[in-house]
Chains A and B, each alone.
Chain A
Amino acid sequence: MTLRADHVAGAFFIAFGLLVIAVSGSLPFGNLASPGSGFMPVILSVLLILFGGTLMVRAGESRPFATLTWSDAKHAAMVVLITMLAIAAFEPLGFITANVAMMFALLVVIERRRLAPAAIYSVGVVVFTFVLFVYVLKTPLETGPLGF
């Protein structure tokens, strides 16, 4: 049997539904006359399992899993990694430092842009945005140890 995209997707939703039921143990289900806080989550988990199962049954209509293209996955993974680092640095280092570093890294590491234009662009855009939000729109942004 060929493994198809919907086999994988359906299995994921079934597993997710089962996981939710497993972690919902402490939530009271209640009864029909007085539904508890676990009532809707359990109904929705059952629906996820049912729909996931249906998706697997009808998986023949979907593409073989092996034909899914992942050529963009490396780019996506790099963007996610750099964004993760920027988010982690957001509070300790402040908006300007974290975002300048993120934009610079995206431009140089992923897009292979030259250092000087990438640095000028990153600093220019981030500082302009900081001024716009903090001084014009009066919406404060996270500041780092150096006060920006």
Chain B
Amino acid sequence: METTLHSLYLGFSVALEPHNAWYAFLGCVVGTLVGVLPGIGPLAGISILLPVTFGLNATQAIIMLAGIYYGSQYGGSTTSILMRIPGEASSVMTCIDGYAMAQKGRAGAALCIAAVGSWIGGTFGVLVLTVVAPPLATLAVKFGPPEYTALLVLGLIFLAYMSSTSLIRTLLMASLGLMLGMIGIDNMTGDFRYSFNLAELGDGIGIVPVAVGLFGLGEILSTPSADAVKNVIAPKLRELLPTRKEWREAVMPISRATVLGFIIGIIPGSAHIISSFLSYALERRLSKHPEQFGKGAVAGVAGPETANNAASTGAFVPLLALGIPTSPITAVLIGALMIHGVSVGPTLVNDHPDVFWGFVASMYVGNLMLLALNLPLVSLFVTVLRIPYAYLYPMIIMFCIIGVYETNNSVVDVWIMLIMGVLGYALRKFEFDPAPLVLGLVIAPILEQSLRQSLIMSNGDYLIFLSRPISLGLFAVSAGLLTLAAISFATKRRDWRATLAEAEAGEVET
């Protein structure tokens, strides 16, 4: 514990350096804007802004990008409450009661509760991350190729099981992502795969053009400007404070959602989306007045908003301790650190303590900044929402092009982004979630290498995965999840995932 406190002291000394604090602040502001603007989610936002960090050192880059990530969670609540438009997917549940509160003249109170809940959820997450990540990293050093294979397979199956669409659709997307990850030079043999004599494809398809195409351009193609809503409720500063009754109603939902969100955040998948849904469902079930949900229940805002921020922080545990991305966003963050010559994994805490602890400490600071930013500046962020979408999306396309081009100074990457944009549009039409595709693309090289190394180690014997306790345990969990999914499919049982799918499609019962 003493070592952790000492390390945290080191982290704060890094995070509070004026330059680093400035980049945390900048990340928070940009992240809030990303969250506020419909049509540009945290993943596209981080990907587009990745080249901006090239001139920074690794610590400053990760501090800024993480600020964008959790800033977008805060920002997403603003559009949900004021316009009934989720700035990003994890704010879907906040729309229901947040907008209902706004219509009753309690928009300010809803924003304040969302901001305070987000701060508590985020800060709790960082506290646990501080304690849990280093010992977990020590354990992860014992992982060999079979354990990594088992862990990545479990991650994919967990993602598919937790998916709100369907197991098959998620696995299809993940397989397509893994397939795209096969493009380029094979690390183990040096063979060129599917590069079609294009030198730029030798290094494979980058995550940035794929993420920006699927989530940035794809979203724009699916949103004709005539469909963009402009009706905004603007709260006044003096209306921001909730009443004592509203605070009382928010306390328990915030407490429960903090723990729930963090635990779900550790699990692979779109944790911040799932956590907000589960928190909403939990609060409605525990409430003495469930009939108020959908009509402006404070718990319906406090729970989901706290949970999605706690989950965002929880997602950093497997990232920092194991070097494994549990979501496309954390995958982009890994890519960012690799560009700066820092390999993420169990050795990060020892090899780059300034990066690790500086990043952790910056999250404490960043969450505090966001609390201070979001409430007084809400009117400013609302002004941004008044820019006509017809003027906004050409600018977003331009930033997509810059973001992708600057990563490798390659026009081929920009063409890939365009193709991915069209693919993203088509996938939305056929109700596929593109997030598992990005995750598949990122883990493809790690999964392929660990699988092939495992087979070489065992001279082609698949039993190597069942003869080692950790990989056996992980595969057993995978098998359990597949069995649960099969039972659910066979009995045609309607569970929470079906309701989540409806909620994400905007069909939730209000």
Contact = CB atoms under 8 A, between A and B. Distances in A.
A9 B285 CA distance: 37
Contacts of A138: 55
Contacts of A80: 221, 418, 421-422
B456 A34 contact: yes
A37 B189 contact: yes
B506 to A, nearest CB: 15
Given A48-B176, A79-B397, A55 B224 contact: no
A76 B52 contact: no
B459 A33 contact: yes
B448 to A, nearest CB: 5
B441 to A, nearest CB: 12
Most central of B54, B175, B425, B451 by chain A CB within 10 Å = B175
Contact of A9 (B414, B421, B432, B461): B432
Contacts of A76: 221-222, 422, 425
A35 to B, nearest CB: 5
B52 A139 contact: yes
Interface in B454-470: 455-456, 459-462
B51 A139 contact: yes
Interface string A62-85: 100000101110011001100110
A interface residue count range (under 10 / 10 to 19 / 20 to 34 / 35 or more): 35 or more
B225 interface: yes
B459 A52 contact: no
A98 B414 CA distance: 13
A48 B346 CA distance: 33
Contact of A125 (B222, B395, B421): B395
A65 B100 CA distance: 36
Contact of A113 (B55, B194, B390, B406): B390
A72 B224 contact: yes
Interface string B166-207: 001101100110110010001011010110000000000000
A37 B188 contact: yes
Contacts of B401: 83, 86-87, 90, 99
Contacts of B398: 99, 102-103, 125-126, 129
B452 A79 contact: no
A105 to B, nearest CB: 9
A33 B460 contact: yes
B179 A27 contact: no
B431 interface: yes
B455 A141 contact: no
A55 B455 contact: no
B287 to A, nearest CB: 33
B105 interface: no
Given A27-B193, A72-B222, A107-B390, A48 B175 contact: yes
A60 interface: no
B431 A48 contact: no
B193 A142 contact: no
A68 to B, nearest CB: 6
A147 B172 CA distance: 46
B368 to A, nearest CB: 26
Contacts of A44: 175, 178-179, 182
A31 B402 CA distance: 44
B104 interface: no
B394 interface: yes
Contacts of A35: 451-452, 455-456
Most chain A beta carbons < 10 A, residue from B179, B194, B220? B179
Nearest to B397: A83
B415 interface: yes
Contacts of B399: 129
Interface string B371-404: 0000000000000000000110111011101100
A93 interface: no
B168 A55 contact: yes
A50 to B, nearest CB: 9
A35 B451 CA distance: 9
Given A55-B169, A80-B418, A139 B54 contact: yes
B402 A133 contact: yes
B168 A51 contact: yes
24 contacts: A13-B172, A28-B189, A32-B462, A40-B452, A41-B193, A41-B194, A44-B175, A47-B175, A55-B168, A68-B430, A70-B429, A72-B222, A72-B227, A75-B221, A75-B224, A75-B225, A76-B222, A87-B401, A90-B405, A90-B414, A107-B391, A111-B390, A113-B391, A141-B402
Interface of B: 51-52, 54-55, 168-169, 171-172, 175-176, 178-179, 182, 186, 188-189, 191, 193-194, 217, 220-225, 227, 390-391, 393-395, 397-399, 401-402, 405-406, 411, 414-415, 418, 421-422, 425, 429-432, 444, 448, 451-452, 455-456, 459-462
Nearest first, the 10 A-B pairs at minimum CB distance are A32-B460, A33-B460, A37-B186, A37-B191, A76-B221, A111-B390, A106-B394, A103-B394, A75-B224, A51-B172
